Structure 1
């Protein structure tokens, strides 16, 4: 109740006697959204969105394309390793993208945006070149899993956070355009890498990817910018943000959803091959999923402008959870491709709306990096365990049924936590569209 009263006081411009949880969690100076003007457009703002788009293209676009590497490794360099072991490379990569956010988020708030893009981009390119000359399992884990994951984590959270410096009214649309970068990357890269593996071989295919990443990071360095004054960092991992109960339940829900959501993405190629789909077409099935997720990343964000990002998150994830249960009922080529299209749309809504939902709970614009960083920190452990758990379930039940049931159950459990967060926010604000 004290926190709610303090929030009301901030909105009225009154001085609060007892600080809210957010004020305790954030050292001065604070920039309250009602005290500043957001450009909500202009060259600098849209250039930042474009720079973030390029970062997302070569971060989540590469992460969601790991299935192409996984299938290649299983029949070539790492054919003596089970899928559950190979999946650790992709899981480590994905989890570090988020885990490092607990450091890079506050570092962004402190004013180190350009430095992190430069350092993270250089590390990313270097690790891809190391991947191109790797031959042993541990080498792929170190270069593609650990190294690339760290590099992505350094640049990913700051390039989300900086969009929140430029947009308020249209921030959900801006986040949707940013999220579309992952869909386009996830559509183009599997097809391109598949062709390059066949035509120039694995080493030069990965080196070509490295040059593409270098181009994307260069664009991000020159296009992305921050507007607000730096915030002094008193601690990197700050659990005080969890004094906001709505934020706590939202992060818990996002973490549970992360644990099960991407089973059809991580193992979609191997599932298609196991059900008689030709190897060439099975690779295109991953691109189809990511291509349709482009609409799933843009349309829900446009709707969220009206109904609220948390409400939209509930709808997208509920659909994705239900689809996870019916994944294994698709056996024919047409059914598998149709499922990938519908699931891509549902999962795309999750990815694009999550940042907007988190930002909507923050009263302070220069506190965005901290909140996103702590969410990434918590959900990263779920992403790390996700693919190996599903791979272990496949070893026990090669029909994919156990993995399907597990995914559906944890996703819908996460939806229930997001629903609790939505009720708390609705009670606090008195609004239905949150």
Structure 2
């Protein structure tokens, strides 16, 4: 799911630039609702993988890509705030839906829980399908979906690499924090809520980052906050108490939310407005590789070392390298020490 949310951006981004996004968004919305309802009927692993892993991930990615392009069309001065508000939606869902699902499973059982979630999605998805619109008409831009000429720009190339490396480490804590808490002896009824706590804190990070990025620049705020996320990733394996895990979840959620919210903001600055869809799609596809490989690599390290300490060192180091590459991107673009970017 992590990877497939970003992977379709290569196709949907280019389609957005040439004026096609309503039909793919409508089809993806139908698939999203259908997969949720069908998951309630799944009884074998491959069925869950097909519905929740592949179909749902691709549908989410098809919806996510064009929304980034639309924000680039409609907002310039307050673009960071727009991105932050937009990103708060996934934070809200990531906070509320797991808690609601846990309650519904007890009250109505698994099949009806998934149907209820499907009906909620049907209601929520009606609004973007009716209201989202481009501001600018399509413009003919040379090149295909993957425009290799874009990588002649050193800042763009370095920033794409930083995105790949960031996602190799960024999802590790969110993937394993509840499992690691249970392994440390924390009650499972409590550890379950750590992901929701992190997502709630992420919402504050996403919103505040939007305001800050508009004031001082995307990378100027993202790079130091990404280092904070790295520090918490290093510290996470050493949490042994409820309070320790809650502190990690809150601070990490806030800091990582800054990156998730605004990592596309520098692309808007480096791109022509008529090429935003393709440029954002390219970096999302590159980032998808990191999102796909990061958690399994962390899992393999855990399996081979028998603990999460080495996992934290690996994931934290990836985030530190990504932050350093963000700073390099800034210097290549501005060619000076001080400046907003």
1:231 aligns with 2:139: yes
Give, in angstroms, the shift of residue 398 of structure 1: 3.1
Map of 1:110 onto structure 2: 18
Map of 1:401 onto structure 2: 309
Distance in 1 (alpha carbons) for counterparts of 2:133 and 2:312: 42
Give, in angstroms, the shift of residue 421 of structure 1: 0.4
Pick aligned residue for 1:137 from 29, 45, 56: 45
Map of 1:204 onto structure 2: 112
Map of 1:191 onto structure 2: 99
Map of 2:36 onto structure 1: 128
Alignment check: 8 A CA contact 1:117 1:217 kept: no
1:290 aligns with 2:196: no
Distance in 2 (alpha carbons) for counterparts of 1:231 and 1:128: 37
Give, in angstroms, the shift of residue 371 of structure 1: 0.7
Alignment check: 8 A CA contact 2:40 2:111 kept: yes
Q: How does 1:312-327 map to 2 (within 5 A)?
A: 312-327=221-236
Distance in 2 (alpha carbons) for counterparts of 1:299 and 1:170: 13
Alignment check: 8 A CA contact 1:127 1:143 kept: yes
Give the number of aligned pairs: 340
Alignment check: 8 A CA contact 2:209 2:262 kept: yes
Give, in angstroms, the shift of residue 231 of structure 1: 3.1
Pick aligned residue for 2:182 from 258, 263, 273: 273
Residue-by-residue CA offset, 1:143-164 (whole Å, 9 max, x unaligned): 1111111111111110111011
Alignment check: 8 A CA contact 1:275 1:331 kept: yes
User: In structure 2, the residue corresponding to 1:133 is in which secondary structure?
Assistant: coil
Map of 2:253 onto structure 1: 344
Residue-by-residue CA offset, 1:64-111 (whole Å, 9 max, x unaligned): xxxxxxxxxxxxxxxxxxxxxxxxxxxxx1211111100001111111
Alignment check: 8 A CA contact 2:209 2:258 kept: yes
User: In structure 1, the residue corresponding to 2:46 is in which secondary structure?
Assistant: helix
Alignment check: 8 A CA contact 1:330 1:336 kept: yes
1:368 aligns with 2:273: no
Residue-by-residue CA offset, 1:340-393 (whole Å, 9 max, x unaligned): 00101100001111121221211x211110110000111111111111111112
Distance in 1 (alpha carbons) for counterparts of 2:312 and 2:44: 31
Map of 2:268 onto structure 1: 359
Q: TM-score, normalised by structure 1?
A: 0.76
Distance in 2 (alpha carbons) for counterparts of 1:132 and 1:385: 28
Give, in angstroms, the shift of residue 431 of structure 1: 5.4
Map of 1:432 onto structure 2: 339
Distance in 2 (alpha carbons) for counterparts of 1:192 and 1:358: 36
Distance in 1 (alpha carbons) for counterparts of 2:222 and 2:149: 25
1:240 aligns with 2:177: no
Pick aligned residue for 2:240 from 316, 331, 334: 331
User: In structure 1, the residue corresponding to 2:315 is in which secondary structure?
Assistant: helix
Map of 1:303 onto structure 2: 212
Structure 2 gaps, min length 5: none
Alpha carbon RMSD of aligned pairs, Å?
1.4
Give, in angstroms, the shift of residue 187 of structure 1: 0.9
Distance in 1 (alpha carbons) for counterparts of 2:320 and 2:207: 23
Q: TM-score, normalised by structure 2?
A: 0.96
User: In structure 2, the residue corresponding to 1:267 is in which secondary structure?
Assistant: helix
Pick aligned residue for 2:122 from 202, 214, 218: 214
Distance in 1 (alpha carbons) for counterparts of 2:262 and 2:225: 9
Distance in 2 (alpha carbons) for counterparts of 1:309 and 1:256: 18
Map of 2:74 onto structure 1: 166
